[in-house]
């Protein structure tokens, strides 16, 4: 299993561009790049550039992965690049990306069900809880778009892989795969996003395993807080996710699966104010009613995971939410942003080291023989 990184979270990705980013990840000892969409590789969908990028990656022994973007039509206004790719026709733009990706040799294509609005606390940061359109209607609309794309994917032997994103549950992903067809659909397993839906990461891995074709590998802080549970991204091994249990599940299902790290982007690349608390309102009746598939057994296993993590926080092994947020990002009016290029590189190194070391303990080969991260 190769270990790479999501391009949007790679330090200086936009500054260096896709071609030079291949050199960057190789220098860091990583095995490839997951470009979220074909447009991230070439905003103009330049066939010659895409072929050259893939040729360079192949020559360097690096993997490339990509995708189509947000598939929820109720979010289309937030992704105008999809309309532009088809000269005003979103379906034409998606079709063009599928065809070009297949020509380049990329047949596993990421899709996502929505956008996270980090400026809003609690459930309203999530498209699942929009008040203008029910989530069930959004799922139905996504299924309709996926069904319309299915014949094009079949022609090219490609799959659209729904991410276990902040909004969607693994149960809903399975229903979409069943409804549209597993010959053209699959899952992009994000190791931490399911935590926001009250799902245990190991249980999610087991549920989705037969259909996992792409990944986002990351970890998270989850602990009790006013209103529910705090969620905060952490380097792999410093959060709540049990990679020693997850990696064997992924390897058994798909030994050739690529593992793509995803983490907080450098503040030098993506300036930001401090995030509001990403509260998982797990005890709120409205939140609970929106998760009818969450069983008492999985809820208990999830909360046991939280209990164990809180023990690590209490012991001082894990830095608490507020201390970590202040040290890395500050609060409004706090001008220093220490989480820059060097800090992001260190975050990646710690995550990669943990995944490789955990893989070795679990008997799962991770990464190709390369120089150690620097």
What integer pLDDT is reported at residue 274 of this predicted model? 60
Q: Which of 249, 204, 236, 258 is nearest to 362 (CA)?
A: 249
Report if residue 367 sits inside a domain. no
Check the CA dihedral 22-28-29-35 and report its sign: negative
Q: For strands 278-280 and 228-234, give the pairing.
A: antiparallel
Q: How many domains does the chain have?
A: 1
- Label residue 275 by pLDDT band (50, 70, 90): low
Nearest to 72 by CA among 45, 85, 90, 86: 90
Whole-angstrom distance, CA of residue 301 vs CA of residue 303: 6
Is 170 inside any structural domain? yes
Are the beta carbons of 171 and 197 closer than 8 angstroms?
no
- Three-state DSSP state, 266: coil
- Does residue 160 form part of some domain? yes
pLDDT tens by residue, 224-251: 999 999 999 999 999 999 999 999 999 9
Cβ neighbours of residue 46 closer than 8 Å, sequence gap 6 or more: none
Contact 160, 185 (CB under 8 A): yes
139 in a structural domain: yes
Q: Which domain holds residue 140?
A: 3-362
5 pLDDT more than 70: yes
Nearest to residue 110, comparing CAs of 53, 216, 188? 188
The Cα–Cα gap between 196 and 114 comes to 14
- For residue range 154-212, list pLDDT tens digits in order: 999 999 999 999 999 999 999 999 999 999 999 999 999 999 999 999 999 999 999 99
CATH code at position 267 = 3.20.20.150
The two structure tokens encoding residue 326: 């202040």
Within-domain flag for 370: no
Contacting residues for 317 by C-beta, under 8 A, at least 6 apart: none
Task: Tell me what the pLDDT averaged over the chain comes to.
Answer: 93
Residue 259 in any domain: the answer is yes
Is 127 part of any domain?
yes
Nearest partner of 259 among 200, 205, 298, 196, judged by Cα:
205
Lowest-pLDDT choice from 51-55, 120-124, 142-146, 220-224: 120-124
Instruction: Give the pLDDT confidence of 23-75 residue by residue, as tens digits.
Output: 999 999 999 999 999 999 999 999 999 999 999 999 999 999 999 999 999 98
Residue 369 within a domain: no
């Amino acid at each position: 299993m190769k270990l790479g990184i999501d391009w949007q979270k790679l330090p200086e990705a936009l500054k260096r561009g896709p071609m030079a980013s291949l050199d960057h990840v190789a220098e860091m000892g990583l095995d490839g790049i997951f470009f979220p969409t074909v447009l991230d590789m070439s905003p103009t969908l330049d066939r010659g550039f895409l072929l050259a990028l893939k040729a360079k990656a192949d020559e360097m022994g690096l993997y490339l992965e990509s995708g189509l973007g947000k598939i929820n039509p109720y979010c289309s206004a937030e992704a105008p690049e999809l309309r532009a790719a088809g000269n005003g026709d979103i379906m034409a733009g998606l079709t063009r990306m599928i065809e070009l990706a297949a020509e380049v040799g990329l047949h596993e294509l990421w899709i996502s069900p929505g956008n996270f609005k980090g400026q809003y606390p609690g459930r309203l940061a999530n498209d699942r809880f929009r008040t203008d359109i029910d989530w069930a209607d959004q799922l139905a609309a996504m299924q309709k778009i996926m069904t319309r794309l299915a014949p094009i994917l079949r022609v090219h032997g490609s799959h659209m892989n729904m991410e276990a994103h902040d909004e969607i549950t693994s149960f809903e992903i399975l229903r979409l795969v069943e409804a549209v067809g597993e010959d053209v659909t699959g899952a992009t397993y994000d190791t931490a996003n399911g935590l926001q839906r009250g799902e245990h990461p190991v249980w999610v891995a087991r549920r989705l395993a037969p259909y996992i074709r792409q990944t986002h590998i990351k970890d998270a802080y989850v602990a009790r807080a006013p209103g529910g549970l705090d969620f905060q991204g952490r380097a792999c091994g410093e959060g709540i996710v049990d990679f020693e249990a997850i990696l064997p599940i992924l390897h058994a299902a798909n030994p050739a699966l690529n593992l793509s790290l995803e983490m907080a982007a450098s503040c030098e690349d993506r300036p930001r104010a401090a995030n509001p608390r990403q509260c998982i309102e797990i005890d709120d009746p409205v939140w609970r009613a929106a998760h009818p598939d969450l069983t008492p057994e999985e809820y208990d296993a999830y909360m046991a995971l939280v209990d164990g993590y809180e023990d690590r926080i209490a012991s001082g092994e894990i830095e608490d939410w507020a201390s970590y947020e202040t040290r890395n990002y500050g609060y409004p009016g706090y001008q220093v942003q220490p989480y820059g290029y060097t800090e992001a590189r260190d975050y990646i190194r710690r995550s990669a080291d943990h995944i490789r070391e955990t893989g070795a303990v679990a008997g799962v080969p991770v990464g190709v023989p390369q120089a150690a991260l620097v």
